[in-house]
Amino acid sequence: MAKKKSFPLRIDPKLYEVLERWAADEFRSVNSQIEFVLRNAALKAGRLSKTDTAEKTKED
């Protein structure tokens, strides 16, 4: 499995509550939900290729 980068994240408590509910709705952890949202935003912005995403999925 690919190693993941760890770092502290400071986030507004209200936003964290939203992410908690959203993650629960989609049966994910908050950490996975944040990664999912960021990956989709990077894809939409053209900063991450679909190939990079497919390779990441294969590693998990």
The DSSP secondary structure of 5-52, one letter per residue, reads: --------HHHHHHHHHHHHHTT--HHHHHHHHHHHHHHHTTSS-HHH
Give the pLDDT confidence score for residue 37 in this predicted structure.
97
**49, part of any domain:** yes
> What pTM does this model have?
0.78
Give the pLDDT confidence score for residue 52 in this predicted structure.
72
**CA separation for the pair 29, 22 (Å, rounded):** 9
**53, part of any domain:** yes
**22, part of any domain:** yes
Give the pLDDT confidence score for residue 40 in this predicted structure.
94
Question: For residue 4, is it left (φ>0), alpha (ψ between -120 and 50) or beta?
Answer: beta
**8, part of any domain:** no
Mean pLDDT value of segment 34-51: 93
Q: Is the pLDDT of residue 47 over 70?
A: yes
Give the pLDDT confidence score for residue 1 in this predicted structure.
62
Number of structural domains (the chain) is: 1
Comparing 19 with 57, which gets the higher pLDDT?
A: 19
